[in-house]
Amino acid sequence: MRLKKVHAGHRLREKAILGVMRLMMGHAPGVVRTLMYRKEYFGAPWSDLTQQVMRGPSEWTVGERETFAAFVSRLNQCVF
């Protein structure tokens, strides 16, 4: 469940980006909408954490980490 404001409450710049995504892909993924809504509170910190986890020092390669993430997303029935 996503709050209506997260779906439609973006600033002009974010609305333009989401519009381009919608034209190119047919929709803008919910995760992107969530990350763009009030970036300073959620989007930026979450993106920074994800970047550290997926690209930071690790015994696993970036490809292995991406595969793990895709597998878990599939198990959770995520479309991205």
State what percent of residues in the chain have pLDDT above 70. 94
Say what the pLDDT of residue 14 is: 87
Above 90 in pLDDT, residue 43? no
pTM: 0.59
Above 60 in pLDDT, residue 77? yes
For residues 7 and 60, what is the distance between their CA atoms, to the nearest angstrom? 35
Instruction: Compute the average pLDDT of residues 20-37.
Output: 85
- As a whole number, the mean pLDDT across the chain is 86
Do 69 and 77 touch, CB atoms closer than 8 A? no
